[in-house]
Amino acid sequence: MDPILDLERRRLLVSAALTARARRRLGSRLPAGIAAGELLDLARGLSKGAGSIEHAYHLRFEPAYPGVTATPESIGRTSKLLLACSVRDPDGTPIGVVFTALIAGRPPQVSVAPSGAGIPGDWRPPGDLHQSHPPPDRRGGVRGALRALRGRPVKSPATLRDVKPEARTVVFTPSLRK
């Protein structure tokens, strides 16, 4: 068989096996209202039993599946988390980069990109992350988010990396208008 086609076949096989395992573990669809912090908990749960996939398909995940992430994101009322790890055969030959996407209200998705895709160096394991923002007000919207942040420091290493420490506190005051 053509080596390029064989490598692509292996990527598709790994993707299908990990997707099926994630859906068995997390369900066919993630809850629609799940918060970003809860996605981290689900991601940590995906690591349990990944050794059986490694053994069955003669693979090695680096770092351990599901890998590392930047941080969970919240866009409106939807939370999402992207994780990545590299996958190699037992000889150390790269097969690809496994990307696992957990998006509120959607099925878990796993794909394997070619090994040149790369993983950002500043991504960390889900267990190392904590929720840096308070949970959103359940009433939602911009006003709910502002209520939740009122007077609390904003500590987001992805967005405030170069900001001086004294400038990292944001205080919201109520408007005089009604």
Give the tens place of pLDDT for each residue, 44-85: 888 887 888 999 999 999 999 999 998 888 888 889 999 999
Domain that holds residue 142: 132-178
- Domains contained in the chain, number: 2
Residue pair 98/82 in contact by the 8 Å Cβ criterion? no
* Amino acid at position 64, single letter: A
Please say which residue of 126, 142, 168 terminates a domain.
126
Give the tens place of pLDDT for each residue, 5-34: 889 999 999 999 999 999 999 999 999 988
Same domain, 122 and 136: no
Same domain, 121 and 153: no
pTM for this model (two decimals): 0.70
Same domain, 41 and 96: yes
Same domain, 136 and 122: no
Alpha helices in the chain (DSSP H): 3-26, 36-46, 50-57, 141-149
